[in-house]
Amino acid sequence: MKIALIAGTRPEIVKLAPVRDAMNALPDLQSWWLATGQHGSLAEQAMGVFDIVPDRQLSLNWTKSSLPSLFARLIEGLAEEYERSGPDMVIVQGDTASAYAGATAAHMLRIPVAHVEAGLRSGDLANPFPEEGFRRMIAPITDLHFAPTRAARDNLRAENIDDDKILVTGNTVVDAVEALGDNDVRPAALDDVAPGANIVLVTAHRRENWGEGIDSICEAVLDLRGRFSNTHFILPAHANPRVRDAVNQLLAGEPQISVVDPLSYPEFIGVLKRSSLVLSDSGGVQEEAPSFGVPVLVLRERTERMEAVKAGTALLVGTDRARIVTEASRLLADPRARLKMTKRGNPFGDGNAGIRIVAACRDFLQSSGPAAPKGGLLSRLGLGTTSIAMAE
């Protein structure tokens, strides 16, 4: 049974790598990796980290095309690859253009679709944009919904998705982080950090934060630098020129601040695990940081990962300069407050999500039915559903 894995961005690659590994452990399944090239060199780095050589690679210009024209070419290119390779199932991850196009092309060709990280919702089509729309539109054409948490499952139920099509699995990023956690990479980005200094990792790239939002975040970093002389701020500059140029203009060359090139995933984890605090508008960071006991201030007005907020590992602060400074100052000044935010561990998984996903796909294909398995391989592995205390 051939299962296609569609990935174009670094987060997709990181979160589908554990699925591919679990699939390759079963002799009756064949993984077929299709790379869309959405993140270019970042995607290539991530595939190298997880020893992934794509079976097929689309050739699209992601930097000089509008999203609608790219999407049209994605649909056409993916459909051609599906017809050429004949997968029995297509797996997409998350809420990117690659994921939506991958699911849509499969649906048009009557190929079953499985959605990893299904059910995330912010409730606002403008935040994040266009991802909230993509993931909502994937749901009705999906045969297997792999919800990372119970809250994501409940979102799908509220949209009248059949309960038999939903399986709570945990998030595969926890599988990936645990696999890399023992690989203690010390990135060159740490070379300018003074011995004993606290590290604050800052990432910002969301489309809705372009312009005033990015400027406000950078100004908050400058304010915090002035308040905390024993703190070093590391900002991996996003590849998008609209983000990178603004960050470089405001922060490059400033004392206690390192604006660095995009980090490979092991390097990113190497900085994250050594950080005292993260300021980020990224969704994935909200899932990764709790594994290392690092609190996150979320630089967004809304998050589809409210499990982190409810568990106390993350706090929504938006892009208001004063609020970022107030909340970050409170945490940087009080190690006990930071510890309180992360003492409950990671609410997003137990490291076995990839195994659950592959077992469910295998049972689905063997039974040729839409029901998520009640027995089969999952039961034999003792992994029918997650038993971890994930946040509602």
Q: Residues 96, 101, 105, CA angle at the centre, nearest 5°?
A: 155
pLDDT band at 180 (very low <50, low <70, confident <90, very high): confident
Strands of 166-168's sheet in order across:
56-57, 30-35, 2-7, 89-93, 113-116, 144-147, 166-168
- Catalytic residue numbers read 95, 117, 131, 205, 207, 238
Q: Residues, the chain, total?
A: 392
Per-residue pLDDT for 48 more than 50?
yes
pLDDT tens per residue, range 62-115: 666 788 888 899 999 999 999 999 999 999 999 999 999 999 999 999 999 999
In the numeric block, the tokens 């994935």 are attached to 284
Per-residue pLDDT for 122 more than 80?
yes
pLDDT at site 387: 41
pLDDT at site 382: 54
Q: 129, 107 in Cβ contact below 8 A?
A: no
Q: 16, 43 in Cβ contact below 8 A?
A: no
Q: Is 57 helix (H, G, I), strand (E, B) or coil?
A: strand
pLDDT at site 384: 54
Closest Cα to residue 300, out of 214, 174, 390? 214
What does the mean pLDDT of the chain come to? 89
The dihedral through the CA atoms of 315, 122, 97, 360 has a sign that is positive
Please tell me the least confidently modeled range out of 39-43, 99-103, 104-108, 387-391.
387-391
pLDDT at site 267: 92
Q: Which amino acid belongs to residue 195?
A: P
Phi/psi of residue 126, nearest 5 degrees? -90, -10
Per-residue pLDDT for 327 more than 50?
yes
Q: Is 173 helix (H, G, I), strand (E, B) or coil?
A: helix
Tell me the H-state helices in 299-383. 306-311, 321-333, 335-342, 353-367, 376-381
Cα separation, 294 vs 83, whole angstroms? 45
In the numeric block, the tokens 């004949």 are attached to 86
Domains and CATH numbers, the chain: 2-171+349-381 (3.40.50.2000), 181-342 (3.40.50.2000)
Collect all residues with Cβ–Cβ distance below 8 Å to 242 and sequence separation of at least 6. Answer: 210
pLDDT at site 293: 93
pLDDT at site 302: 87
pLDDT band at 378 (very low <50, low <70, confident <90, very high): low
pLDDT band at 208 (very low <50, low <70, confident <90, very high): confident
H-helix or E-strand spanning residue 315: strand 314-316
pLDDT band at 256 (very low <50, low <70, confident <90, very high): very high
Q: 87, 112 in Cβ contact below 8 A?
A: no
pLDDT tens per residue, range 283-299: 889 999 999 999 999 99
Cα separation, 370 vs 355, whole angstroms? 19
Please report the DSSP string for 83-152 in residue order: HHH--SEEEEETTSHHHHHHHHHHHHTT--EEEETTT---S-TTTTTTHHHHHHHHGGG-SEEEESSHHH
pLDDT at site 225: 97
Q: Is 56 helix (H, G, I), strand (E, B) or coil?
A: strand
Per-residue pLDDT for 207 more than 80?
no
Q: What is the largest CA-CA distance in the chain?
A: 62
